[in-house]
Structure 1
Amino acid sequence: MFKAWMTFAFDAARLGAETQSVIALRMMRLAQGGSGAQREAQLMLTEKNLAFAEAMGTLAVGGSLQKVMRRYRSHVRANRSRLTR
């Protein structure tokens, strides 16, 4: 059980670090203004709602919190890749 908690804590810490980098990239995109900033703001709102619905759906059918976190990290990595192009 200790190993499971440590794995979860490590994954949560990595998610936090990755999320901070995406937030910084998004803030730079928003600060540029224009249509790109407007698209990014709209995308953020859409993504947040979809991620929440996906997480709740996973948990509702008996999925684990670790599965939700792994999936959310994949979304964060995709955003980082998209924003660094």
Structure 2
Amino acid sequence: MYNPFFSSLMLAFEAQKVIELRLVRIAWGGREAGSEMHAMVSEKISASIEAAGTLMTGGSPEAVIARYREHVAANTKRLTAA
């Protein structure tokens, strides 16, 4: 049985890690900070458009949460790469 509360809670916990990693990268400054800020804004715009499209075409909120978790996982992987 699918529990939307659990997946929403997991998204919140996973997103906190990305927020931490991004803040550290921005605090370091330099070229990486600027590109990270640009990526952060453009990713949020793209994700909201994607979520709206999913919902408008009959997708479920659970599908939106699952897709957001994929985005968060990709960002975690990218930001923790050496």
Q: TM-score, normalised by structure 1?
A: 0.93
Gaps of 5+ in 2: none
Tell me which residue corresponds to 1:34: 30
CA distance in 1, matches of 2:11, 2:60: 16
Of residues 24, 28, 38 in structure 1, which corresponds to 2:20?
24
Q: Percent of aligned positions with the same letter in both sequences?
A: 46
Q: CA deviation at 1:16?
A: 0.3
| Partner residue of 1:46 out of 31, 42, 66 | 42
Query: Residue 75 of structure 1 corresponds to which residue in structure 2?
Result: 71
Post-superposition shift, 1:37? 0.3
Paired position in structure 1 for 2:6? 10
User: How many pairs align?
Assistant: 81
1:59 to 46, 55, 59: 55
C-alpha offsets along residues 23-75 of structure 1, whole Å, 9 cap, x if unaligned? 00000000000000000000001000000000000000000000000000000
Root-mean-square deviation (CA), in Å?
Answer: 0.7
In the alignment, the residues of structure 2 paired with residue 54 and residue 72 of structure 1 have an alpha-carbon distance, to the nearest angstrom, of 10
Normalised by the size of structure 2, how large is the TM-score? 0.96
Instruction: Tell me the distance in 1 between the aligned counterparts of 2:41 and 2:15.
Output: 15
Higher-Rg member (1/2): 1
C-alpha distance in 1 between matches for 2:60 and 2:38: 29
